[in-house]
Amino acid sequence: MEKSERLRILNALVEHIANGTTADAGGIMRVPMSDFTCPELLTQEQEAFFRTTPLLMGLSSQLPERNAYWSDNATGVPLLLVRDGEGRFRAYANVCRHRGSLVVPEGRGCKDRFTCPFHAWTYGIDGRLLAVNKSDHFGNVESLGLRLIELPSAEMHGTLWVRPTGGDPLDEEQCLSGLQHDLLHWNLSDYPHAGTQVIDARMNWKLGVVSYGEIYHLNILHAKTVGKEVHGNLQTFERFKNNYRMVFANQKIDLMRMLMPNRSLWPYRQVTATVYFFFPNVIMMVDAFGVDVLRIFPLEGSPSKSRTIHTWYIDPKVKQHFMDHAISVDDRLKRFRDAVENEDYVMAADIQTNAECGNQSEIVLGRNEAALQHCHNALRLGVGRDPLPVEDV
Ligand code: FES
Ligand SMILES: [Fe+2]
């Protein structure tokens, strides 16, 4: 994020603290609870969001060097992501041209050729079919021009994007919609992968997405954990087409207010957390420790099951500090997981149960829950539904 933008946000946060205000959506929104339970809606969402829409997969350090690969099935479409011999990011459908099995099992590593575990056909990292096992017995398939099926992909300012079932090349403005400047200034390519963890929960995948979109709950639900360090119910909020940016302040900002009148000198990342939503299913959080990326998916074709894949990319200076002082990366991952799994997702599972019971037909999103209102409407529009009205109350 550019310096002038950071200062503008710090000024807005200080104003909110001083006046007891927060970002305001201009009204309330009622959301039908059937949006969390309807199997037909989930089928539409899976088709619209997890097949043909470009998805943010992670940061560039998932593929840190030439010939690095990452096989990932989280979207529901087996994908093989690589950094080829020239250092270029490419994505393939992870499907063997022989009989259709996975060429590479899920995981990450480094090699320049992949041998299918079924009958040992071998592909190069550039997708070419290099060898057919016992080709004199199998038959000459050279004339078929078989190679791994390449998918539209792009590396944008340190982020990796893929359209899982092919189609048009990716368009940076469509994916980032104005957030390019933010990503550019975060130098995301410099952040090494620190760890990945999977959190399955009994909730609709959209309930996972909206868990990160308001801090009205922070000093209440998380009173004994992360809530102790943060100004609850206080945030900035801006739409970037389907995406959004929300910034909240931690309590170190109060120290800065006392000690340092010149806000342009404040260490922005020490006193804030910047939360991005990248349509349709990714939350990215930038704070003093690094970058957390949460990819949230429906699970097993069920409207009431979801999978969250949390990856932490650590700030290089923080990494050095952790190494110098023998601080465990796993502890920070566990603390993050505990707050999400034992607090946020417990609430979300309760909402899911009530949505399924049907005693109440809708929930209400407040003026201070602007990001949630935005998400619900962006996702409704994404499957061709009418947006929900904002009611002035
Ligand atoms: S399915 Fe891959 S080699 Fe047969
Ligand atoms: Fe939370």
3-state secondary structure the chain: CCHHHHHHHHHHHHHHHHHCCCCCCCCEEEEEHHHHCCHHHHHHHHHHHHCCCCEEEEEHHHCCCCCEEEEECCCCCCEEEEECCCCCEEEEECCCCCCCCCCCCCEEEECCEEECCCCCCEEECCCEEEECCCHHHHCCCHHHCCECCEECEEEECCEEEECCCCCCCCCHHHHHCCCHHHHHHHCHHHCCEEEEEEEEECCCHHHHHHCCCCCCCHHHHCCCCHHHHEEEEEEEEEEECCEEEEEEEECHHHHHHHHCCCHHHCCHHHHEEEEEEECCCEEEEEECCEEEEEEEEEECCEEEEEEEEEEEEECHHHHHHHHHCCCCHHHHHHHHHHHHHHHHHHHHHHHHHHHHHCCCCEEEECCCCHHHHHHHHHHHHHCCCCCCCCECC
User: Does 201 lie in the same domain as 96?
Assistant: no
Amino acid at 235: Q
* Torsional class of 72: left (φ above 0), alpha (ψ -120 to 50), beta (otherwise): beta
User: Does 114 lie in the same domain as 95?
Assistant: yes
Q: Which domain holds residue 307?
A: 3-53+178-382
User: Does 75 lie in the same domain as 48?
Assistant: no
For residue 162, the cross-strand partners are: 55, 153
CB-based contact 57:108 (threshold 8 Å): no
Which ligand minimizes its atom distance to the CA of 346?
2
User: Does 359 lie in the same domain as 211?
Assistant: yes
Residue 245 lies in a domain: yes
**Ligand 2 center from residue 248 Cα (angstroms):** 13
Q: Is the pLDDT of residue 77 over 90?
A: yes
Mutate which of 101, 134, 135 to test ligand 1's pocket (most atoms within 8 Å of Cβ)?
A: 101
Report pLDDT for 243. 98
Q: Whole-angstrom Cα distance, residue 61 to residue 188? A: 9
% of residues, the chain, pLDDT over 90: 97
Residue 298 lies in a domain: yes
Q: Distance of CA 197 to CAs 63, 193, 238, 295, 333, Å?
A: 18, 12, 29, 11, 8
User: Does 87 lie in the same domain as 200?
Assistant: no
Residue 70 lies in a domain: yes
Q: Nearest Cα to 208, choosing from 133, 119, 280, 150? A: 280
Residue 199 lies in a domain: yes
Mean pLDDT of 173-182: 95
User: Does 70 lie in the same domain as 33?
Assistant: no
Q: Which of 169, 189, 204 is the last residue of a domain?
A: 169
pLDDT in tens, 277-324: 999 999 999 999 999 999 999 999 999 999 999 999 999 999 999 999
Tell me, yes or no, if the pTM score tops 0.85: yes
Closest ligand 1 atom to residue 116 Cα is: 2
User: Does 267 lie in the same domain as 342?
Assistant: yes
**Ligand 2 center from residue 268 Cα (angstroms):** 22
> What does the angle CA 245 – CA 8 – CA 6 come to, to the nearest 5 degrees?
65
CB-based contact 296:209 (threshold 8 Å): yes
- Contact 371 CB / ligand 1 (< 6 Å): no
Residues 6+ apart with CB under 8 A from 211: 340, 344, 345, 347, 348
**Ligand 1 center from residue 95 Cα (angstroms):** 9
Q: Whole-angstrom Cα distance, residue 92 to residue 148? A: 6
Mean pLDDT of 160-166: 97
Q: Which of 141, 169, 197 is the last residue of a domain?
A: 169
pLDDT in tens, 102-115: 999 999 999 999 99
User: Does 105 lie in the same domain as 22?
Assistant: no
Q: Which of 169, 189, 207 is the last residue of a domain?
A: 169
User: Does 85 lie in the same domain as 15?
Assistant: no
CB-based contact 28:364 (threshold 8 Å): yes
pLDDT in tens, 23-73: 999 999 999 999 999 999 999 999 999 999 999 999 999 999 999 999 999
| CATH code at position 279 | 3.90.380.10
Residue 387 lies in a domain: no
% of residues, the chain, pLDDT over 70: 100
**Ligand 1 center from residue 117 Cα (angstroms):** 7
Phi, psi (degrees; rounded to nearest 5) at 230: -120, 150
Report pLDDT for 2. 85
Residue 390 lies in a domain: no
Mean pLDDT, the chain, integer: 96
Mean pLDDT of 10-17: 96
Q: Is the pLDDT of residue 1 over 90?
A: no
User: Does 76 lie in the same domain as 48?
Assistant: no
Phi, psi (degrees; rounded to nearest 5) at 228: -65, -25
Amino acid at 279: F
Residue 214 lies in a domain: yes
pLDDT in tens, 332-369: 999 999 999 999 999 999 999 999 999 999 999 999 99
User: Does 343 lie in the same domain as 321?
Assistant: yes
Mean pLDDT of 184-189: 93
Report pLDDT for 65. 97
- Contact 116 CB / ligand 1 (< 6 Å): yes
Closest ligand 1 atom to residue 96 Cα is: 2
Measuring from atom 1 of ligand 1, which residue has the nearest CA?
A: 99
Say how far residue 157 (Cα) sits from the centre of its chain. Answer: 15
Report pLDDT for 393. 87
Q: Whole-angstrom Cα distance, residue 27 to residue 393? A: 6
pLDDT in tens, 189-218: 999 999 999 999 999 999 999 999 999 999
User: Does 194 lie in the same domain as 47?
Assistant: yes
Q: Is the pLDDT of residue 136 over 90?
A: yes
For residue 252, the cross-strand partners are: none
| CATH code at position 154 | 2.102.10.10
pLDDT in tens, 236-260: 999 999 999 999 999 999 999 999 9
Residue 354 lies in a domain: yes
**Ligand 1 center from residue 63 Cα (angstroms):** 25
Q: Distance of CA 252 to CAs 141, 230, 259, 341, 367, Å?
A: 65, 9, 11, 26, 26
Number of domains in the chain: 2
